[in-house]
Structure 1
Amino acid sequence: MTTKSLPLTPELHAYLVAHGSAPDEVVRELAEETRAALPAQAGMQVAPEQAAFLTFLTRLLGTRQAVEVGTFTGLSALAIARGLADGGRLTCFDISEEYTSIARRYWVRAGLEDRIELRIGPAGETLRELPRERYLDFAFIDADKVGYPVYWDELVPRMRPGGIIAVDNTLRGGRVLAPQNADDRAIAAFNDEILADVRADVVMLPIADGLTLARVH
């Protein structure tokens, strides 16, 4: 027994992935194309166990209305869309036509294109176009780190009571303990800010690069 999360060796990580909802052909090929086409940016893609968790969580919530901020090549959106309830919709916000052109192809391959709406533009502005009511069941934030507080403040008032916001990269490879750049400092400050936000209960999980879940009151 242990009182803290185990460090993951490559072998233990492979075992973990294989004993959850292992990636299917579409997910594997999307990950492979992302690494081949965008080797310098491929680390922005969610980990396979994180994708499986997003599908599981979305299903658990009975999600019908979801938002994603930061789509990249579309793996996290694919995972969320797969977990939506019948008739559910996911609205994605991103600034890159290049990256999301890959996403669109794989959404079609997965038969999910009718569940996903992609909006291109700065999310700090385009999020304001969403209805100003508490209707969202689930939201996922995985975009530019200095923008996290803006996205949080736009999303929290739009979450239904009990809705969940998932926030990626909240451990920054451990650098939240000793921030080395602007992104590290932004995440360290953001983690403190949302922990003190009385509108939500927050838990941080050591999944991939740190995944924070916030349940909005």
Structure 2
Amino acid sequence: MQISADQGRFLTMLTQLVDPTLAVEVGTFTGYSSLCIARGLTHGRLHCFDVSDEWTSVARRYWEKAGLAEKITLTLGPATETLREVEGPIQLAFIDADKTNYPAYYELVMERMEPGGLILADNTLRGGTVADPARTERYVQEMREFNELVINDPRVTTTIMPIRDGVTLIRKN
């Protein structure tokens, strides 16, 4: 459930390149990806959304230990509700939460995303299963549907990077 070290370095680098004033993370877990994003911030803030106080308490400890807690705001609750409170513009977003709600998270972020902003969605290759027509599991179908949604969205330019379980880069036109 945690991103890999390669993905972490990739997130930090992309954060440095985008140089956001507002970055958003949907799905914080124990905080590794948020640390990677926060490390890449020069003057911006990261707003994290998660439902688990238990797991994000681990994240908060690591944010403090790394000296990055002052750059991060955490909101607990379903992101389908709490993301509505974000007053953009968002320049960078990382989506790595329950896959069923990826389309909803995507739309909520897109509504607040600045043109030229970047969304990263994790797990979009699902171990390659999305490319295997014989695989019909619900989690595979959900990711196929999300990938189709993004690929066919005229508001964006997108590509899937085969890093670990797949990271889709989505740039708002």
User: TM-score, normalised on structure 1?
Assistant: 0.77
Equivalence for 1:39: none
- 1:149 and 1:155 map into 2 onto residues whose CA distance is 10
1:177 Cα deviation from its structure 2 partner:
2.2
Deviation digits for residues 171-216 of structure 1 (CA, Å, limit 9, x no counterpart): 0011112334222110011101110001100010001100000000
Structure with the higher strand share, 1 or 2: 2
1:75 Cα deviation from its structure 2 partner:
0.2
Equivalence for 1:188: 144
1:73 Cα deviation from its structure 2 partner:
0.3
- 1:205 and 1:70 map into 2 onto residues whose CA distance is 20
Relative to structure 1, the CA distance from residue 156 to residue 99 in structure 2 (aligned partners, 3 Å threshold; closer, same or farther) is same
- 2:136 and 2:55 map into 1 onto residues whose CA distance is 27
- 1:65 and 1:129 map into 2 onto residues whose CA distance is 13
Instruction: State the AA in 1 paired with 2:90.
Output: L
The equivalences for 1:148-167 within 5 A come to 148-167=102-121
Higher relative contact order (CA 8 A, sep 6+): 2
1:140 and 2:84 are equivalent in the alignment:
no
Relative to structure 1, the CA distance from residue 173 to residue 162 in structure 2 (aligned partners, 3 Å threshold; closer, same or farther) is same
Identity rate of aligned residues, in percent?
A: 51
The equivalences for 1:103-182 within 5 A come to 103-131=59-87, 133=88, 135-178=89-132, 179-182=135-138
Aligned structure 1 segments of 4 or more residues deviating by more than 2 angstroms: 177-181
1:62 Cα deviation from its structure 2 partner:
1.2
Instruction: State the AA in 1 paired with 2:166.
Output: G
1:93 and 2:67 are equivalent in the alignment:
no
- 1:45 and 1:116 map into 2 onto residues whose CA distance is 18
Structure 1: runs of 5+ lacking an equivalent? 1-43
Equivalence for 1:76: 33
SS of equivalent residue, structure 1 residue 197 = coil
The equivalences for 1:35-54 within 5 A come to 44-54=1-11
Deviation digits for residues 19-57 of structure 1 (CA, Å, limit 9, x no counterpart): xxxxxxxxxxxxxxxxxxxxxxxxx00000000110000
User: TM-score, normalised on structure 2?
Assistant: 0.96
- 1:102 and 1:196 map into 2 onto residues whose CA distance is 38
1:157 Cα deviation from its structure 2 partner:
1.7
1:63 Cα deviation from its structure 2 partner:
1.6
1:145 Cα deviation from its structure 2 partner:
0.3
- 1:75 and 1:52 map into 2 onto residues whose CA distance is 11
Checking the alignment, whether the CA contact within 8 Å between 1:91 and 1:118 is kept in structure 2 is yes
- 1:104 and 1:210 map into 2 onto residues whose CA distance is 27
- Size of the aligned set, in residue pairs, is 171
